[in-house]
A and B are shown apart, each in its own frame.
Chain A
Amino acid sequence: AQTVTQSQPEMSVQEAETVTLSCTYDTSESNYYLFWYKQPPSRQMILVIRQEAYKQQNATENRFSVNFQKAAKSFSLKISDSQLGDTAMYFCAFMKRPGGGSNYKLTFGKGTLLTVNP
Chain B
Amino acid sequence: GEEVAQTPKHLVRGEGQKAKLYCAPIKGHSYVFWYQQVLKNEFKFLISFQNENVFDETGMPKERFSAKCLPNSPCSLEIQATKLEDSAVYFCASSPSQGRRGYTFGSGTRLTVV
Please report A residues at the B interface, Cβ cutoff 8 Å. 33, 35, 37, 42-47, 50, 52, 89, 91, 95, 97-99, 102-108, 110-111
Q: Contact at A97–B102, with CB atoms within 8 Å?
A: no
Q: Does B22 contact A (CB under 8 A)?
A: no
Q: Contact at B98–A91, with CB atoms within 8 Å?
A: no
Residues of A within 8 A of B58 (CB): 103
Q: Contact at B31–A106, with CB atoms within 8 Å?
A: no
Q: Contact at A95–B99, with CB atoms within 8 Å?
A: yes
State how many angstroms separate the Cβ of B37 from the closest Cβ of chain A. 8
Which among A98, A103, A105, A111 is the interface contact of B100 at CB below 8 angstroms?
Answer: A98
- Given the interface pairs A103-B48, A111-B41, the reply to whether A97 lies near B100 with Cβ below 8 Å is yes
Residues of A within 8 A of B31 (CB): 104
CA distance A98 to B55 in the complex (A): 13
Q: Can you list 12 A-B pairs with a CB-CB distance of less than 8 A?
A: A33-B99, A37-B105, A42-B107, A43-B110, A45-B105, A95-B99, A97-B100, A104-B95, A106-B43, A108-B43, A110-B42, A111-B41
Residues of A within 8 A of B40 (CB): 110
Number of B residues whose C-beta is below 8 Å from A? 28
Please report B residues at the A interface, Cβ cutoff 8 Å. 31, 33, 35, 40-43, 45, 48, 55-56, 58, 89, 91, 93, 95, 97-105, 107-108, 110
Q: Contact at A105–B101, with CB atoms within 8 Å?
A: no
Q: Contact at A43–B100, with CB atoms within 8 Å?
A: no
- Given the interface pairs A45-B91, A89-B41, the reply to whether A106 lies near B103 with Cβ below 8 Å is yes
Q: Which residue of A lies closest to B58 (CB)?
A: A103
CA distance A35 to B99 in the complex (A): 11
Residues of A within 8 A of B108 (CB): 43-45
Q: Contact at A91–B43, with CB atoms within 8 Å?
A: yes
